[in-house]
Amino acid sequence: MAGDTTARVRQLIAESGLTQAEFAAKAGLDAPKMSKSLSGVRRFTSLDLARIADLCGVSVDWLLGVDPVTPATAARTATVPLNSADSAIREAERLAQLRADLAFLGYHQEVPRFEIADASASCVDQGRDLAALATAHAAQEGIALWRCKDLAGAVEAAFGVDVRVHRPVDGFDGLSWSDDHSSLIVVGTSEVPARQRFTIAHELGHLLAGDDQGLHVDADIHDTDHRRKPSEKRANTFAAELLLPAEMLREKTHDITWSPEVFAVLACELWVSPSTLAWKLFNLHLIDKRQCDAFRGLTAWDAARKANAVESLGEWIQQTSRSRIPAPLVRTTFQAYADGKATLRPYANLIGVDTDTLREAISDMREDSPPES
């Protein structure tokens, strides 16, 4: 491994057209120490490798001779031509590579793992069991997921998973990625908030169930053929139970007198689509078929109007229409820089700011009191 690293650094120096001393200076390294590392007397430190990787536009994994994080069969779960999800896949690869580099520096992502009690149970029962485990875990962190409008932030806080909301080239629902160093979800921006929220829960189900280690693409979670797959049935059941726990619904609807207005208030309170809520209530025998047909015919806009929640719906649409960077990854990347283990470039790249501009902003963040007049 050390020999591979030395050979690759030498390759980068040769390709740069610089002398060894010039390369060291440009990378911000001490020339004598660089010489000792290249001769095998001294090991490259993690910060040395981070600086060399930054200078040359390569990953730390490449310098170490580690296989890239991209799965060899990355497209195996796609149900449509991958060009519809290419940008999201590239983004997942970028974030997974950053997590791998952070792991090398000693910053590891901690994500809980759950064991399904009965592996022989139906995929629907497995989905329910997994949702119960996830709900209990989140409750220990003081989080009731079904209450959360910002499910992305809640999932990050409860499970440590990175959630990226990404603006794709065209239609795309979501994907999950899991490897030795990274657990992340990428979903598309959406003007249909309830669909994006369900997609986040669906992808979390794939992660917690250990489906398709590496990359799992759900270009369209509502595609009929796609939904027939056992892993998709389990993920859909998981999402439905996570967002609309049966026990909670029974409690909330006890002795309720149903009307379109009462139903609309409940749908807006639970941040779900009227159709999803109606089917769930019907399957739990909390409403009859006639009520189900009437309620699921309401749109999100209809429900918001009846519940006097149009402003909340507008704010929710604004939120889900915007891109979002994973908060845990932002914190960890900055911490690596603050600890002197990484350069500023990974953090700058992650938040989309030029390195020099960011360095100037950080140095100028202290605000002096205005002079007295």
With tokens 């921006």, the residue in question is 189
With tokens 């100037």, the residue in question is 360
Q: Which CATH superfamily is domain 2-64 in?
A: lambda repressor-like DNA-binding domains (1.10.260.40)
pLDDT at 231: 87
Q: pTM here?
A: 0.80
**Is the C-alpha dihedral spanning 272, 275, 278, 281 positive or negative?**
negative
Which class in CATH covers the domain with range 82-243?
mainly alpha
pLDDT at 76: 29
pLDDT at 89: 85
Q: Describe the crossing of helices 31-39 and 46-56 by its angle, rounded to 10 degrees.
A: 100
**Is the C-alpha dihedral spanning 350, 355, 360, 362 positive or negative?**
positive
pLDDT at 187: 93
pLDDT tens digits in sequence order for the chain, 373 residues long: 456 888 888 889 988 888 888 898 888 888 888 888 888 888 888 778 888 888 887 777 788 776 555 443 233 233 444 445 778 888 898 999 999 999 999 999 999 888 877 778 899 999 999 999 999 999 999 999 999 999 999 999 999 999 999 987 666 789 999 998 999 999 999 999 999 999 999 999 999 988 866 777 876 676 676 667 888 999 999 999 999 999 999 999 998 999 999 999 999 999 999 999 999 999 999 999 999 999 999 999 999 999 999 999 999 999 999 999 999 999 999 999 999 998 888 899 898 888 888 888 887 665 555 666 5
DSSP-derived 3-state class of residue 370: coil
pLDDT at 78: 38
What would the two tokens of residue 205 be? 């189900």
pLDDT at 80: 42
Burial class (CB within 10 angstroms; exposed 0-12, middle 13-18, buried 19+) of 281: buried
pLDDT at 116: 79
pLDDT at 148: 95
Residues of the chain with CATH 1.10.260.40: 2-64
pLDDT at 322: 94
Residues of the chain with CATH 1.10.10.2910: 82-243
What would the two tokens of residue 115 be? 């064991």
**Beta strands in 160-314, from DSSP E residues, in sequence order:** 162-166, 174-178, 183-188, 214-218
Q: Side chain identity at 281, as an amino acid letter?
A: L
Q: Side chain identity at 77, as an amino acid letter?
A: T
